[in-house]
Chains A and B, each alone.
Chain A
Amino acid sequence: KNEVEQSPQNLTAQEGEFITINCSYSVGISALHWLQQHPGGGIVSLFMLSSGKKKHGRLIATINIQEKHSSLHITASHPRDSAVYICAIIYSGGGADGLTFGKGTHLIIQP
């Protein structure tokens, strides 16, 4: 059973398009991370959210705790945004603080 579901699994878009990647989860969380993984394999943390919305440059992340749903948006997409975008949660309560990951969304932005 996957506690973190992402959609779409794969997304190809043209440069300049507005991109939305969705993440749904089925458990109570204390926080949610959006991460970026490039072809070389390294992982970069983009956002950590526990409520509301965060913005950094062309990236916007939102979370709805009641609906157990988060979205990552990319405005004015560019080929350098091509990467795997991963949603990861931290369970609420107890001592658990490791991340549980989704399978990722493979994004390709074509020039």
Chain B
Amino acid sequence: EPEVTQTPSHQVTQMGQEVILRCVPISNHLYFYWYRQILGQKVEFLVSFYNNEISEKSEIFDDQFSVERPDGSNFTLKIRSTKLEDSAMYFCASRRDRQGRAFFGQGTRLTVV
């Protein structure tokens, strides 16, 4: 089965630093998403991206966050100035179309110290 790939699997960063989380969605998928899961809590929606622009974002996705699809294969989430409360597992997902099943990456565990 095709896979969504995320790198790195674990990143430790100092508070105030910028981080970029990387995702390679499935190649023929058109809809891309970032979710996060704080330890012990439920998964939360951050942002959806289609046709090279954000189509929906949650209240969590403030000005510190941005997403980009810099080339035909990568989809990135940037956190400009990390805070302790940004520590979480971040999941990338993709779908072929709006009626399609979502495929998730294995996640990046971000630890802000």
The residue among A31, A43, A48, A104 with the most chain B CB atoms within 10 A of its own CB is A43
> From residue A102, how far is it (CB to closest CB) to chain B in Å?
7
Q: Known pairs A33-B102, A35-B104, A97-B98. 13 more at Cβ < 8 A?
A: A41-B89, A43-B107, A45-B104, A48-B101, A95-B55, A96-B56, A97-B48, A98-B48, A98-B58, A99-B33, A99-B35, A103-B42, A104-B42
Contact of A86 with B by CB under 8 A: yes
Residue of A nearest to B58 (CB): A98
List 20 interface pairs A-B (beta carbons < 8 Å), by A numbering.
A33-B101, A42-B105, A43-B104, A43-B107, A44-B104, A45-B104, A86-B42, A88-B43, A95-B55, A96-B56, A97-B31, A97-B55, A97-B56, A98-B35, A98-B45, A98-B48, A99-B45, A99-B93, A101-B43, A101-B44
Q: Determine if A12 is an interface residue (Cβ-Cβ < 8 Å).
A: no
Q: Choose among A41, A45, A86, A98 the residue with the greatest number of B CB atoms under 10 Å from its CB.
A: A98
Does A75 touch B at the CB level, under 8 Å? no
**Neighbouring B residues of A101 by C-beta, 8 Å:** 35, 42-45
Which of A40, A42, A100, A103 makes the CB contact (< 8 A) with B104? A42
B86 to chain A, nearest CB (A): 17
Residues of B bordering A, CB below 8 Å: 31, 33, 35, 37, 41-45, 47-48, 55-56, 58, 89, 91, 93, 95, 98-107, 109
Q: Is the CB of B56 within 8 A of A86?
A: no
Q: Which residues of A are interface residues toward B (Cβ below 8 A)? A: 31, 33, 35, 40-45, 48, 86, 88, 95-104
